[in-house]
């Protein structure tokens, strides 16, 4: 059963969102992926948000570009935590998406990661950290990732 729902505003977002999906797979986190636009499919977004918790999803990752309202709209429909990824798909290269996602008014948070590929990766790692509080196998997989990172920074000098 999927623990993470990865939602994107357009199929054109997949080149960035594939980074999220790949890392969730590497960490052994079951997930589902959906394309759902907050402005083109508002009813589908509402239906998804109202039922996502009862389907067993524990973290939502939502990526969008432009004036990216998808993560905030999803957060308005559910209390499942939402991680937002601002995508640089617009003429403003993601600055518009960053501001739209990070500047949520108080009360309905969206945990916002970096713009683009780094953010897409970090969204998966952040989901792993959250889920690792409950699922030991995910905690172990995330710790192994951190150990690999530490190793890669501790290589002996080449000469
Ligand atoms: C947003 O607008 C999507 O998340 C995408 O990043 C951007 C452009 O979407 P398309 O016009 O390619 O569908 O809704």
Query: Taking the domains of the chain in order of start, what are their residue ranges?
Result: 4-153
In terms of DSSP H, where are the helices of 2-156? Answer: 14-26, 42-51, 70-77, 95-102, 117-132, 136-152
- The protein residue whose alpha carbon is closest to atom 12 in ligand 1 is 12
- pLDDT for res 156: 65
Whether the full predicted model's pTM is greater than 0.85, yes or no, is yes
Residue 153: pLDDT over 90: no
Percent of the chain residues topping a pLDDT of 90: 94
Ligand 1 binding pocket includes 87 (Cβ within 6 Å): yes
Domain 4-153 has CATH 3.40.50.1970: yes
CB 27 within 8 A of CB 59: no
Packed helices 70-77 and 42-51: angle between N→C axes, nearest 10 degrees? 40
Neighbours of 55 (CB within 10 A): 12
Ligand 1 closest atom vs CA 9: 4
For ligand 1, the distance from its centroid to the CA atom of residue 151, given in whole angstroms, is 38
Summarize pLDDT for 106-129 with one digit per residue, the tens: 999 999 999 999 999 999 999 999
Q: At 89, is the pLDDT very low, low, confident or very high (cuts 50, 70, 90)?
A: very high
Take atom 11 of ligand 1 and give the residue whose Cα is closest: 10
């Amino acid at each position: 059963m999927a623990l993470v729902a990865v939602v994107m505003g357009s199929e054109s977002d997949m080149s960035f969102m594939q980074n999220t999906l790949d890392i969730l797979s590497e960490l052994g986190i079951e997930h589902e992926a959906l394309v759902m636009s907050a402005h083109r499919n508002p009813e589908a977004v509402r239906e998804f948000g109202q039922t996502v918790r009862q389907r067993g999803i524990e973290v939502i990752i939502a990526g969008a570009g432009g004036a990216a309202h998808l993560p905030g709209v999803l957060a308005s429909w559910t209390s499942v935590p939402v991680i937002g990824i601002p995508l640089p798909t617009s003429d403003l290269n993601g600055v518009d998406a960053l501001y739209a996602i990070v500047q949520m008014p108080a009360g309905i948070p969206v945990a916002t990661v970096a713009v683009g590929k780094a953010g897409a990766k970090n969204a998966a790692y952040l989901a792993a950290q959250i889920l690792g509080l409950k699922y030991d196998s995910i905690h172990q997989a995330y710790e192994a990732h951190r150990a690999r990172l530490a190793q890669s920074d501790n290589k002996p000098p080449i000469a």
